[in-house]
Amino acid sequence: MNRILALDTTNEYGSLALAGDGQVVAEVLLHSQEGFSGILFDQLRGLLERGGWRLEDIDCFAAAAGPGSFTGVRVGLAAVKGLAEALGKRVVAVSNLEAVAWFGGAALRAAVVDARRGQIYGAVYTAELGIASPEVVMPFPAWLATLPEGGVEFVCQDFAPFRPALEGTRFEHSMVREAPRALAGAIAKIAAARLAAGLSRSPAEIDANYVRQSDAELFWSE
């Protein structure tokens, strides 16, 4: 059985998950306005104990690579890279936008994540999670003008702030699907598929997916 430990520390609400053979066996939602560096390993230890797993049992470590809080992205990636390096295991880095899109049900899924400062992170994925429109950061109304022709399904953890911008556009009657705050389970499933396909990587090969320039960290708490 391929065992995956996945985590997301990129935003105020984070999560951890364990998956075996592509099925999530445990997932926990975390919340910390001060970040996760001080609590992450205690939470990981508790999750493993509840699942009856040891770190040595993990075949692959996975993390949300962003976009999100710059400090949060670094915390999660550093954790999985350090664990994988110490144990000689493989890693998978998954875009938050891809994890959000995983919860969609349409052929084209427009994943939306609040980037603050009046902007969103957005990308359009196919049902197979291939990129149909690249990851960007920009105001939501401006992003709508760049989306592919035809119908798309919007997938977002909280779409309420963006819904008014659809009025009077070709997307006014588009389907909207809500993704949960906990993304680690989806990240684990995506990672399991990549591991099975031979697409996992060594710890040194994965990197952050910031999308926006690092000066955004100065404004993240606004």
Q: Which CATH number covers residue 62? A: 3.30.420.40
Whether residue 166 is found in the same domain as residue 187: no
Whether residue 34 is found in the same domain as residue 81: yes
**At 214, is the pLDDT very low, low, confident or very high (cuts 50, 70, 90)?**
low
* Angstrom distance (rounded) from CA 148 to CA 136: 14
Per the domain annotation, does 101 fall within a domain? no
Per the domain annotation, does 83 fall within a domain? yes
Per the prediction, the chain carries an average pLDDT of 94
Whether residue 122 is found in the same domain as residue 40: no
Whether residue 170 is found in the same domain as residue 206: no
Whether residue 7 is found in the same domain as residue 92: yes
Q: Which of 198, 214, 208 has its CA nearest to residue 76? A: 208
Per the domain annotation, does 119 fall within a domain? yes
Per the domain annotation, does 48 fall within a domain? yes
Position 196 pLDDT exceeds 80: yes
pLDDT reported for residue 215: 47
Per the domain annotation, does 189 fall within a domain? yes
Whether residue 185 is found in the same domain as residue 129: no
Q: Which residues contact 159 (CB under 8 A, 6 or more apart)?
A: 112, 176, 178
Position 217 pLDDT exceeds 50: no
Q: What is the pLDDT of residues 114-138, one digit of tens each?
A: 998 899 999 999 999 999 999 999 9
pLDDT reported for residue 1: 76
Number of domains in the chain: 2
Whether residue 24 is found in the same domain as residue 47: yes
Element (DSSP H or E) covering residue 45: helix 40-51
Domain range enclosing 137: 106-178
